[in-house]
Structure 1
Amino acid sequence: MTAALFEKRQQPAAPLVDTHVHIFRRGMPLIPDPRHSPDYEFTAEQLEATLDEHGVKFCVVAAASPWGDCNDYVVQALRTRPLWRGTAILEPSTERIVLEQLGRDGMVGVRLPFISLRELPDLDSWPWRKFLWRLADMDWHVHLHLDGPRIPQVLPQLERSGVKIVIDHIGRPDPVLRERCAGFEAMTRSVEKGRTWVKLSGGYRLGDHAVELARELCRRVGYERLLWASDCPFVGVESTTYRSTIDWIEQAVPDPLHRHTLGLNAIDLYFRGVARTACA
């Protein structure tokens, strides 16, 4: 099915794809000193109910940093849900045979939760160069979560590797410098090169200027490399509601056709085969 035909079968005002959600079970093993330590669970069934309530049929489950590379529950959920995709947290030593099996299970990329690290890894080292080469060769993407001021420390190496790049939460720019932050500038230039996407998400984490930041990014780069995400279930800020994240993107991107473009971007990036099957 072509993107145009898919577009005709959808309501322009409805989010097509939520590109960043989390699921986890109570009792899953936490890494040492996690950024967050949820004392509750948000199951695949709870996520399904939330998406259904808001008319969202496609989602991308991002492995959550508190559980490190324990991707087991996400993989189990993806196996029985053809309209879901996922990104895994993995060590750079992960062999290709493991990546290929994860791909069959529904994984399409690797999450880099570098925001948790005091010292960033050396992406020019052999293990990382090999790993990024494998991901690029498989047409996977890396899903970068990092504070904006440090994005310029890793973005050039990621670009050189040839891997597709997806940046979380409008690049989490410095709250004072905002769009003048070096990371925001580097992210904008990277999008213009054609292999980087940015999630218009996490507004509730970015403060009062989140809408302005999103609009400024749209003004600079257009809409063809932008995505929408809720970040449900809002770990650490659980008072946030799913509806509020939809309201936020409607403020940030007022034109429903532009918001629809965000969904089509996600279909192209994550769901090319599934979209044809699901909408036939």
Structure 2
Amino acid sequence: MKKELIDYLKSNHKEIHSDWLNKLQETGDKKLHEIISDNDFFLMGQEFTNLLLGDSSSAERYVNLPVFIEKAVSYNWPLSFLVRGIQVLEQVILDHLKIKAPGTEDVYKQVEVLNEWLHPLCQRIVEVYSDTWERTFSLQKIALQELSAPLIPVFDGITIMPLVGTIDTQRAKQIMENLLHGVVKHRSVVVLIDITGVPVVDTMVAHHIIQAVQAVRLVGAKSMLVGIRPEIAQTIVNLGIKLDQIETKNTLKKGMEKALEYTNRKLVGIGE
């Protein structure tokens, strides 16, 4: 960017920033402003314009850009909003050059300079945002997979795996891995697989559960399927799914009582 334009942007930074925020609020998506608080909008907008118009060199600006984009993703700022922000900034700067700085070098040349500066920056923002979002999504997916099939030790030798939500092939694989790893790690004698939170049990889900039970048996532990609601039981019967070799209970409480029996324990009242 030419020195004359740089000096002008530096000396009018606050006014440009203010006009930019006002114009974005006027033309922006109302639903977006409902998601982003006024304070966050102001602070992030200030950081954004500082990044674009600040004293840092072009090289430093590109180095600092990923830090800002990381924050923007964490604040759920959509990419379209950032691109719109650059477009509005370009228009605001041109308006300032035309109206408030008539003595500046030919406006058309300044437009060319702005395009050479902002358009590659816009492209870079798209690239960094895409990379950051993909990385964030991958980390979230891994975290959800780890949480989707937890194995919880409740007593010595007794563990519970509560399942919530739909079970697909990928999740079934995660369930199997967590189950076998946890059984060995916690030296489980009995494992309760709780399907209270599974909305639908079809042939595929039942097949995955049967496989999990068989795998647990191979590593020397006993498994029990609990949380079978009446509608799930009816579905299993209608589909002709055979769970003869799997011990089942309709509630986690009954399953826990049976698991305690298997480990030579029982629940007793305080007064007994």
The answer, yes or no, to whether TM exceeds 0.5 is: no
TM normalised by structure 2 equals 0.31
Question: Which structure is larger by alpha-carbon Rg, 1 or 2?
Answer: 2
TM normalised by structure 1 equals 0.30
State the structure with bigger RCO (CA 8 A, min sep 6), 1 or 2. 1
